[in-house]
Amino acid sequence: MLNLSPEQFVIKPALATINCEPNWQWKRKAPIPNFDLLYIWSGKGNLRLNGKDYPLQRGTCFLFRPGDWTTATQDPANPLVITYIHFDVTGEPEIIPNHHRILQDRIHFESLLSQYVRLFLVDTYGAEMEGKLILKQLMIHLLRADQQEETQQKEEGEELQSQILYTIREVANYVQQHPGENHTVESLAARANFSPRYFSKKFKEIMGQTIQSYIVETRIKRAEHLLHYTGMSVTEVADALGYNNIHFFSRQFKAYTGKSPSEIRMISGIRKPSITKMPSKRKKNA
């Protein structure tokens, strides 16, 4: 509503600040015919707007639009204190405040509400012109609050994504450091504090492959290193990396590298040093 001038706001006589009776409830039999600003000063309750429920508490603020369906109830032990203001506009608003928010910066907003209601308690000179100016200010306040909330949600979303990225990479690093462990999706998801389904989805998004593929690839890379540089036998490498079946290990190794473990070991030229006995010294004949 930033594009509207104060003159385009149409004051309606329906406005008040009220302390709701213990048995108060709001049940409309028809949709709201105009704009309606509702603010909760205190109390507890629930409001249903177009089929969605919203809890009512201090600072809760709604801007209903023409055609909205609403009902509301309150906690009789904690009755509501509310301000409502009905108004219309001429012209087409380019931006309309969101239906709902919980205001954090309330002092200025509450002051404007109180000032607006006081204008029409008695016949005040210039009340309608001032009321239109206040309505414009109230709409600006709501739009600013909506923008701040959207910015905060965006920042929180970016922070969450950063935390997810860090967590997935930490798990990937753990797999690299412990390639011989019996890793499962469930055990790694528990380490990340994610559900297995969510963990699998995020791992593939971030690492570009499934967790199962990453585990196998990490083991094969480690096996290749061990065969190249340590002189360990194929059986020893397979056992070190958690393979109970050496034939399965060999097939998986070849599928990833194009060569068998034995070929890699032969290429490296490293053999375990053989243990030879030193010749015993013969005693010299006296």
d(CA 39, CA 239): 69
CATH code (residue 256): 1.10.10.60
- CA angle in degrees (0–180, nearest 5) for 228-232-236: 125
Q: Tell me which of 180-184, 253-257, 273-277 is least confident.
A: 273-277
CB atoms within 10 A of CB 163: 10
- Determine the pLDDT at residue 274: 43
Among candidate residues 152, 168, 190, the one where a domain is terminated: 152
pTM for the structure as a whole: 0.60
- CA angle in degrees (0–180, nearest 5) for 267-273-277: 150
Q: Is residue 22 assigned to a domain?
A: yes
d(CA 97, CA 38): 13
- Determine the pLDDT at residue 283: 47
Stretch 121-131: mean pLDDT: 88
Model confidence pLDDT, tens digit, residues 147-198: 887 777 787 788 888 999 999 999 999 999 999 999 999 999 999 999 999 9
CATH code (residue 30): 2.60.120.280
| Host domain of residue 246 | 178-273
The total of structural domains in the chain comes to 2
**71 beta partners:** 27, 48
Structure tokens at 58: 């201090």
Q: Is residue 222 assigned to a domain?
A: yes
d(CA 269, CA 262): 11
Q: Is residue 68 assigned to a domain?
A: yes
Q: Is residue 189 assigned to a domain?
A: yes
Structure tokens at 100: 């709902």
Select from 108, 131, 141, 144 the least CA-distant residue to 6.
131
Q: Is 100 found in the same domain as 138?
A: yes
d(CA 12, CA 24): 23
Q: Is residue 11 assigned to a domain?
A: yes
- Determine the pLDDT at residue 4: 82
